[in-house]
Structure 1
Amino acid sequence: QPTTVQEQTIPLAMGSGEAGEAARFIDLMVSSQTGSGKTAAFLLPVLHTLLKQQATAESEERAEHERAVAEATAKGEVLPKRKRKDPTSSRNFKAATPGALILCPTRELAQQVAHDAIGLVQHCRGLRIANVVGGMPYQLQIAKLQNADLVVATPGRLLDLQRSMQIKLDKVQFLVVDEADRMLDLGFADDLAEVNQLTIERKQTMMFSATIAPRIQQLAARVMRQPQKLQIDSPQEKHANIKQVLFWADNPQHKRKLLDHWLRDTTINQAIVFASTQIECDGLANDLQQAGFDAVALHGALNQGLRNRRLMALRNGQVQVLVATDVAARGIDVPTITHVFNYGLPMKAEDYTHRIGRTGRAGRDGLAVTFAEPRDRRKIFDIEAFTRQPFKAEVVPGMEPQQRAPQGGRGDFGGGGGRGREYAPRDRKFAGGGQRSGGSGGGFNAPRDDRGGFEQRRGNEGFAPRKPGFGDFGNRTTTESFAGRHGDSFGQRNDFAPRGDFAARKPAFDKPARPGNGGKVFVPRDAAKKRAFKPGN
């Protein structure tokens, strides 16, 4: 049975028009959650149109050949033969001119879409599908591009081949951008703009995304013409067939024990464990292998050949646990995946929905388990706010966390939005009677003589004279200026003279001080050697 997104998208994606007229196509912008059947929603109408065009072209070619044969027979000439060129010969090489182009943000997603497309047309003759992704040999992909009708590609490698004149995009009629939000996250906005200019003569553009955010609408305004929006189901809608549970852990060791406990569940067929970083991914995969699990790692630092082999092993059932980063959060469609474990939480809340979407595909039941430490509470609250549904926290008997589990909202822990704290009401205006702790209040509109904000600073003295030494800055000529500064702590120091009279200072280094007018007098070291100047000498 077709899914909701397929029922609403396919009729609109099909061209409309009367018999004998060119079909008219409309641009579509579709938002649907992961695992809802979006791939078939855009593959079926595109493949149907390509097959129809191919059948029309073949019938016209056949009619032209029959007409040429009839003319040759009437004239008694040699019957013409159809020329079949060897596409592998370098003399017959020509750049690929596909009729449809599908852009995907990641290699795994592009390979999955190409695999699904090949499965849909495996019984149709003459329709060629090529997959162009990075990390694969150029010559192999160039050979696959020959006579390709549909190309599924990542933007980087596609533009590389286009700049080297291995593929021409001016004949593209249908452009599909899958996972447009992820495309922007990976920085492909400029590449999309370039592809848009290269395929400016296309008939239809379809864009699929998990959300129709403002940035997606801005992208659609650049590459689409009056698109029709379809909001099938938002990512905030609950995954009814996926059970989501949360386990709080005290530390990484506790979290590792919880994961080991869950992986030994006999109901697990295959599982994906998501890690936050590539280093964590490799380390966790090695630990699981040493623990006896059939586990492999998958992340962006691996070469494409190794990534393909590990994904193939997962699909063939040779791998039980796939430890991956967010590179595998989209594009993996394996029906036997029953569990998804969020060992490391995603950086963005929307990636959580794509992670758990690896299980429960096509209406099947699935289980998504999330492990979090108290330091991860903000990410948990962000996920709850994005999905609009709270987590159901559970505990494993005998492995209960010792720390108090965060509950409620961010404010309960004093670091989020402040909703859990209760502050005394404050008057944030500069005028009025707001009474602040430690001062007399009054704001800045109070009379200057009545302000007491600094009067109670220390011992009800504030900045009043602490001791007689600072009592009067203008009358420092008294001999008591520094005498009583420290009180009785250091005794009475009467050897200080007023700062203004340098003549009365204590002689330094037993040298006689010259009378002066209040300035310093420096005596040269060789003063005793020089004779004083006397007139007449």
Structure 2
Amino acid sequence: MTFESLGLHPSIIKALAESGYTEPTSVQAQAIPAGIEGRDMMVSSQTGSGKTAAFMLPALHKFAIQSDEQPAGGKTPNQEMQSSRSRGERPRFKAAQPKMLVLTPTRELALQVTTSTDKYGAFNRRVKAVSILGGMPYPKQMQLLSRNPEILVATPGRLIDHMESGKIDFSQLQILVLDEADRMLDMGFIDDIEKIVAATPEGRQTMLFSATLDGMVGNMAKRITRDPLIIQIAGSASKHENIQQRVHFVDDLSHKNRMLDHLLRDETMDQAVVFTATKRDADTIADRLNIAGFAAAALHGDMHQGARNRTLDGLRRGNIRVLVATDVAARGIDVPGITHVVNYDLPKFPEDYVHRIGRTGRAGRNGIAVSLVNHAEGMNVKRIERFTKQLIPVSVIEGFEPKRSASAPRSNKPGGWKPGDNRGGNKTSQRTFSKPGSAPRNEGSGFGKGPRTGSGTGNPAGAPRRSFGER
């Protein structure tokens, strides 16, 4: 199947071709035709499956056709305000009237959706997409809204602020999308979502995307959709067969830090995301990694939007090799160069484990996900295994063996055990962390043999280098 066979507007086909997209993914192949027909949808799809294009391409197709049918000319609200100023009149702000609203749980995901939309709509200049986010300066937000964009991408909290101040009018809204709806509910946005949905026209098209359609998410989806098409590509407990998963047991914090240092020196690593439980740990670990010679940076919710944008831009450009992040901050990051994910701390919920490791192995690429686990956290590993319905192998690297072996033999049954299994896990050499399909290395010297440099974020060339685990 090709994008042409889905009946998309020629301007979109051209933009997709220039971006290197030729064949739709499974979720795109099912969702795009239904979206073009105007059907409501409830979609369960794993991260990295191409869901942004699944809801954005049919919307852009619809707006491109409307744009073709409308005569050129006419003033935007911003142009009308400028005309008023030139006539000496006091300009009056006119509320933005978007045709499409995309709600996302985090700023990073909102920016990613907007960036993708600009790419897909590169040849339809009359369709504008903007992001309204917390942490963005208020005058900048007013400037964006004054353009009266057709597509508005927003986080719920900041959107409510503009709705209540009369800056946004949803009377012309045609399409409503809830992206990662399960995460928005986990973050406590249920009341905000209900309020936003109530402010939109009843005749709108609604598309909801979520890792799962069970429980509260499913109940909400049924309330806000009409005769929806249900698409289930893969649940959030997808096996991620293209991602090699490993557990390394560590004795204490010092052992964990030495292990992290070793893993990040893997020569096969292009870029890595290290997940921590707290914002403070993200800052501390990023600082210590920089001292150890890695080009590292932190990403968390306490950072100003400008700093977050610079960090993500550095990650995409390859200037940042190691991103140390919290769960919410890293949500939605799609960088092809991320080959490794390291769970420095295990997540609170098994669902978050799936989303974490989904930062690597994007779009069918291979990836490696490693969890550093204290012996007391064995039950948390078992919960993840039960949720993902697969066993996560325990590995031991020569020279980094824990003082204690695994507390019980592990079975091939997810989350269970059986007598006779190897009690100590799988003892491996340092070659364990080579990319799938790559040739084994004899030296196993890790990521980089000399001092790493990193465009202002890492250690300067020639500076003495020490292990991250050193005090």
| Short-chain TM bin | 0.7 to 0.9
Equivalent position of 1:150 in the other structure: 151
Counterpart mapping for 1:402-481 below 5 A: 402-408=403-409
Task: Give the whole-Å Cα distance in 2 for the aligned partners of 1:150 and 1:104.
Answer: 13
Q: Does 1:8 pair with 2:9?
A: no
Cα deviation 1:480-518 (Å, max 9, x = unaligned): xxxxxxxxxxxxxxxxxxxxxxxxxxxxxxxxxxxxxxx
Equivalent position of 1:238 in the other structure: 239
Equivalent position of 1:49 in the other structure: 62
Quickly say closer, same or farther: Cα 1:165–1:288, change in 2 above 3 A: same
For residue 51 of structure 1, what is the amino acid of its counterpart? A
Task: Give the conservation status (yes or no) of the 8 Å contact 2:248–2:371.
Answer: yes
User: What SS does the corresponding residue of 1:233 show, helix, strand or coil?
Assistant: coil
Task: Give the whole-Å Cα distance in 2 for the aligned partners of 1:235 and 1:84.
Answer: 42
Task: Give the whole-Å Cα distance in 2 for the aligned partners of 1:83 and 1:160.
Answer: 27
Cα deviation 1:70-123 (Å, max 9, x = unaligned): xxxxxxxxxxxx778724526364211010000000011001101100111122
Task: Give the conservation status (yes or no) of the 8 Å contact 2:341–2:356.
Answer: yes
For residue 323 of structure 1, what is the amino acid of its counterpart? V
Match of 2:45 among 32, 39, 47: 32
Cα deviation 1:395-431 (Å, max 9, x = unaligned): 1101111112134579xxxxx99999xxxxxxxxxxx
Equivalent position of 1:140 in the other structure: 140
Task: Give the whole-Å Cα distance in 2 for the aligned partners of 1:377 and 1:110.
Answer: 35
Task: Give the whole-Å Cα distance in 2 for the aligned partners of 1:83 and 1:382.
Answer: 57
Task: Give the whole-Å Cα distance in 2 for the aligned partners of 1:11 and 1:111.
Answer: 25
Q: Does 1:128 pair with 2:141?
A: no
Task: Give the conservation status (yes or no) of the 8 Å contact 1:242–1:366.
Answer: yes
Structure 1: stretches of 5+ with no match in the other structure: 16-24, 63-81, 411-415, 421-537
Q: Does 1:117 pair with 2:100?
A: no
Equivalent position of 1:534 in the other structure: none
Q: Does 1:314 pair with 2:312?
A: no
Give the structure-2-normalised TM-score: 0.78
| Cα offset, 1:226, TM superposition | 2.4
Task: Give the whole-Å Cα distance in 2 for the aligned partners of 1:325 and 1:95.
Answer: 35
Equivalent position of 1:98 in the other structure: 98
Give the structure-1-normalised TM-score: 0.69
Quickly say closer, same or farther: Cα 1:276–1:14, change in 2 above 3 A: same
Task: Give the whole-Å Cα distance in 2 for the aligned partners of 1:271 and 1:176.
Answer: 30
Task: Give the whole-Å Cα distance in 2 for the aligned partners of 1:156 and 1:299.
Answer: 18
Task: Give the conservation status (yes or no) of the 8 Å contact 2:174–2:205.
Answer: yes
Quickly say closer, same or farther: Cα 1:99–1:379, change in 2 above 3 A: same
Which ranges of 4 or more aligned residues in structure 1 deviate by more than 4 Å?
Answer: 82-85, 416-420
Counterpart mapping for 1:175-194 below 5 A: 175-194=176-195
User: What SS does the corresponding residue of 1:176 show, helix, strand or coil?
Assistant: strand
Task: Give the whole-Å Cα distance in 1 for the aligned partners of 2:171 and 2:203.
Answer: 8
Task: Give the whole-Å Cα distance in 1 for the aligned partners of 2:305 and 2:407.
Answer: 41
Quickly say closer, same or farther: Cα 1:269–1:84, change in 2 above 3 A: closer
For residue 128 of structure 1, what is the amino acid of its counterpart? K
User: What SS does the corresponding residue of 2:369 show, helix, strand or coil?
Assistant: strand
| Cα offset, 1:234, TM superposition | 1.5
User: What SS does the corresponding residue of 1:400 show, helix, strand or coil?
Assistant: coil
Equivalent position of 1:519 in the other structure: none
Structure 2: stretches of 5+ with no match in the other structure: 1-22, 85-90, 420-471
User: What SS does the corresponding residue of 1:395 show, helix, strand or coil?
Assistant: strand
| Cα offset, 1:237, TM superposition | 2.7
Task: Give the whole-Å Cα distance in 2 for the aligned partners of 1:123 and 1:408.
Answer: 58
Equivalent position of 1:501 in the other structure: none
Task: Give the whole-Å Cα distance in 1 for the aligned partners of 2:398 and 2:28.
Answer: 44
Task: Give the whole-Å Cα distance in 2 for the aligned partners of 1:327 and 1:384.
Answer: 22
User: What SS does the corresponding residue of 1:14 show, helix, strand or coil?
Assistant: helix
Cα deviation 1:181-231 (Å, max 9, x = unaligned): 000011110111111111033421000001112111111122112222111
Task: Give the whole-Å Cα distance in 1 for the aligned partners of 2:222 and 2:31.
Answer: 20
Counterpart mapping for 1:314-333 below 5 A: 314-333=315-334
- Larger mean Cα displacement after TM superposition, 174-183 or 399-408: 399-408
* Higher Cα Rg, which structure: 1
